[in-house]
Amino acid sequence: MAGYNLKEIMNKPERLSPGHRMCAGCGATIGVRAVLRALHEGDEAVIGNATGCLEVSSYMYPYTAWEDSYIHNAFENAGATLSGVETAYRALKKRGKISPDTTYKFITFGGDGGTYDIGFQSLSGAMERGHDMVYVCYDNGAYMNTGIQRSSATPQFADTTTTPVGSLSNGKLQPRKDLTAIIAEHNVPYAAQTTFTRDFKDIHVKSEKAIYTEGACFLNILAPCPRGWRYDMADIMKICQLAVDTCYWPLFEVENGTWRLTYEPKKKLPIEDFLKEQGRFKHLFKPGNEDLIVQFQEEVDRRWEDILFRCSR
C-alpha cells in the first residue's frame, strides 16, 4: 500500500450509500464503509450478506444502499454462497466468458450471530477450501436485529434479553468465543482483528490486505451497537479506544501463520474503564459484585498473555 492518507481515503466515493435504515452511529455500517474504501478504484466487488441488522436495513427490495452486486444470504450459508460465486467466476474466466480486464473481489459480511454461531460451518468450509474471498464479521456481540439475544460472541456478564440480569442472574455465564484465533488456525493466508481507531488506518490497512491477498481471508471487526451496549452513540470512538487500550479487543493480524500485534497500548487500562461506559454491564458496579469484575479482568489478561505469547514466537 502507498502511504496512508486519511483525507484521501475518506474522500473516496462511498460504496454503501446513505439512506439505509441502520441506526445512527451503528458500528456495522462504519465497518462496512471502511472495508469497502480499501477496494482499489476500478475494481468490482460482489458482496454477500448474511441476515442481520446490516442486511435487513440496507437492502429492502426494490431499494438497496449497495453500489456493488449484492447477494442476501440466509444466516447459515454466507460463506458457502460466496465460495460458489467465486468458483463460478474462476470457471467463467477460464472459458473466456468474463473479461480478463476487470478485477472482481468477493466479500461477505455477517454479524456475530451469523458468523460465530449459525454460519460457522459454511465459514469454516470456505476458509478451509481456500476460496479467493474475504469474510468480514461485524461483531456487535449479540443478535441485535431480533432484540439483543446472546451469541457466542457476547462477553461474559453482559445483560441481554436471553441472559437478563436480575436477582438470580449476573448476565451471560460464559466468556466469548475467540473466533479470530479459530479462523487463524484454519491456516488461511490472512486473518485479523480490528476496530475503529482515530485515523482508521488499522482497519484500512487490514481490509486492503484481506481483499488483495490471494486465498481465503478473514476480518473480525469490533462494531459497537449503541442500542445493545447501551451507551451514547456519540461515544463510539471512545468505546473502541477503550476496547483496545484495556486489551479487551487486541488489534493483531496473522499472516501465513505469523502472529503480529498491530497496536500495543502504552499503558494497559483496567477493564472497568471499558465496562463502565456501557449499560449492559451496569450491574457489575453494584456493591458486592466486585469479584465479577476481577473475573472479567482475569479472562482479559489470560487472552492478552496468550496473544503476546503467539506474537513472540
Amino acid identity for residue 97 in this structure = K
Q: Which of 16, 20, 26, 141 binds ligand SF4 (CB under 6 A)?
A: 26
Question: Rounded to the nearest whole angstrom, what is the least distance from the CB of residue 301 to Mg ion in the complex?
Answer: 26
- 100: how many CB neighbours lie within 10 A of its CB? 7
Amino acid identity for residue 177 in this structure = K
Give DSSP secondary structure letters for 19-57: ---SPTT-HHHHHHHHHHTTSPTT-EEEEEEESSHHHHH
Cβ atoms of 46 and 85 within 8 Å: the answer is yes
By CB under 6 A, is residue 144 in contact with ligand SF4?
Answer: yes
Q: Which one, 151 or 246, has the nearer CB to ligand TPP?
A: 151
By CB under 6 A, is residue 247 in contact with ligand SF4?
Answer: no
Three-state DSSP class for 118? coil
CA–CA separation, 136 and 112 (whole Å): 10
Cβ atoms of 165 and 116 within 8 Å: the answer is no
Q: Which of 113, 155, 175, 189 binds ligand TPP (CB under 6 A)?
A: 113
By CB under 6 A, is residue 146 in contact with ligand TPP?
Answer: yes
Question: Rounded to the nearest whole angstrom, what is the least distance from the CB of residue 231 to Mg ion in the complex?
Answer: 16
Question: Rounded to the nearest whole angstrom, what is the least distance from the CB of residue 160 to ligand SF4 in the complex?
Answer: 12
Which residues within the stretch 82-141 sit at the binding site for ligand SF4 (CB under 6 A)?
A: 140
Name the site residues for ligand SF4 (rule: CB under 6 A).
Answer: 22-23, 26, 28, 53, 57, 140, 144-145, 225-228
Name the site residues for ligand TPP (rule: CB under 6 A).
Answer: 28, 51-54, 75, 111-114, 118, 140, 143-146, 151
